[in-house]
Structure 1
Amino acid sequence: MSILSQAYSWINLKFLLAGLGVTIEVSLISIALSFAIGLILGIIRYVGFKYVSAAVGFVIDIVRNLPLLLIIFFTYFALPQTGLRMSAMSAAITALVVFESAMLAEIVRSGIIAVDPGQMEGARSTGMSYWQAMQHIILPQALLKMIPPLVSQFISLIKDTSLATIIVLPELLYRAQIIYGQDTRYMLPMYLMIAVMYFIVCYALSLVARRLEKRFG
């Protein structure tokens, strides 16, 4: 118990909680930006603009098949070679947004495809334009169908923030490594604690998703 009491001292817990704050901040910003961009890209992919949709689809396929860690390395270490320098947080957010936008674009496109085509025909028959029907009829239904895969992707994003420890982002895992670097006996307690913290955040998000499904389903 002495090791646990030392590992879970208030100073260490406070240090970890600060790291959790960074993890949540990066996650929230990345989720908001990637969802907005992914929504736009998914609609472009679905609508089928000449040349543009094909080009967007090509880029999405490339990004989706690259390791996120490689994108993080490229953003933080390679881009400065071109004169574009970013902080560890900005680089992590940029990499996550690029990667997750590509993933979310396909979720959005699949969600729109899952809506009965008759919905668009019915909306157009009432005098709505294509984009009015898309905004008021198709997208609201598609978003409901997207909730489970979107939440799953958002949870993956939260966990993927731990990869940013490689560029010295002071998030949860990085701070845990600093703590057990002082005493290797703290390694197991630290990993247990960050596992609990990740679980709480991710499980809370899944509960919110379930409530949304029940409310709007």
Structure 2
Amino acid sequence: MFTILFDHASELFSGLGYTLGASLIALIGSLVLGTLFALMEIGQHKWVRVIGRAYVEVVRNIPLLVITMGFYVIVPMFIVQVDGFTAGTIGLTIYTSAFIAETIRSGIQSVSSGQMEGARSVGLTYYQAMFHIIFPQAIKIVIPPLGNQFINLVKNSSILAFVAGFDLMYQGKIIANSTFNTFDTYLAVGLLYLIVTMPLSYLMRFLEKKWKTA
């Protein structure tokens, strides 16, 4: 394993850079998109709730690979050319956003309904109450499951390997094919993924403890 790490460090760390880049973009995008659809799922208007629910249910039940291949193969055929990195990142963003939406929705709904009623009674609008009263409380509640989704996102970024996204898994596949040392190569790849996900796991635990005592 260490021979692979030293002899192919440039390829592996280049792939790690693409993995981190795709993960960061998808993390931000899926958090924004997931929050939007979570709010739509519990919106005041029925048609808004229907759209939000339909998005979550459809996306959650389509495999990540199918979504990614849709952007990598179908979109270039009819709309615009998309490279592997972009297709993989978009697919990862959309897929993860559906799970984040459900996580945030459950957090919002776990906040006592009296909080909203109290906020409305002092003159706040629905959206003011949601963003200033309900949402901050919900985020504290969903930190653990949200952290799990972020960690899963990093691991799921290996989907880029299927669309030539130059990520860590893609580089590992090339190295394994060229050296015929499959075991050590994927052991090294697994170690690098672990180096990324373990600190993230501890960070989410730290935030959970900090916000519980806040």
Q: TM-score scaled to structure 2, two decimals?
A: 0.94
Runs of 4+ with deviation above 4 angstroms: none
Q: Which residue of 1 aligns with 2:92?
A: 96
Structure 1 range deviating more: 77-86 or 109-118 = 77-86
**Per the alignment, in what secondary structure is the counterpart of residue 47 of structure 1?**
coil
In structure 2, runs of 5+ residues without a counterpart are: none
**1: distance between equivalents of 2:129 and 2:2?**
60
Aligned residues: 212
**Cα pair distance change 1:5/1:108, threshold 3 Å:** closer
**2: distance between equivalents of 1:89 and 1:7?**
24
Q: Which residue of 2 aligns with 1:119?
A: 115
Q: Which residue of 2 aligns with 1:196?
A: 191
**2: distance between equivalents of 1:6 and 1:58?**
49
Q: Deviations over 1:103-128 (max 9, x none)?
A: 11111111100111111122223332
Q: How many Å apart are 1:175 and its aligned residue?
A: 0.5
Q: Which residue of 2 aligns with 1:109?
A: 105
- The answer to whether 1:211 aligns with 2:199 is no
Q: Which residue of 2 aligns with 1:30?
A: 26
**1: distance between equivalents of 2:143 and 2:103?**
10
Q: TM-score scaled to structure 1, two decimals?
A: 0.93
Q: Deviations over 1:16-51 (max 9, x none)?
A: 011111101000000001100110110111124221
Structure 1 range deviating more: 139-148 or 55-64 = 55-64
Q: Which residue of 1 aligns with 2:4?
A: 7
**Cα pair distance change 1:5/1:125, threshold 3 Å:** closer
Counterpart of 1:72, as a letter, is T
**Cα pair distance change 1:107/1:6, threshold 3 Å:** closer
**2: distance between equivalents of 1:48 and 1:125?**
17
**Cα pair distance change 1:115/1:96, threshold 3 Å:** same
Q: How many Å apart are 1:8 and its aligned residue?
A: 3.0
Q: Deviations over 1:138-166 (max 9, x none)?
A: 00000011111111111111111112211
Structure 1 range deviating more: 126-135 or 113-122 = 126-135
What pairs up with 1:1-217 in 2 under 5 angstroms? 4=1, 6-9=3-6, 11-184=7-180, 186-217=181-212
**Per the alignment, in what secondary structure is the counterpart of residue 42 of structure 2?**
helix
**Per the alignment, in what secondary structure is the counterpart of residue 204 of structure 1?**
helix
Q: CA RMSD in A?
A: 1.4
- Give % identity: 36
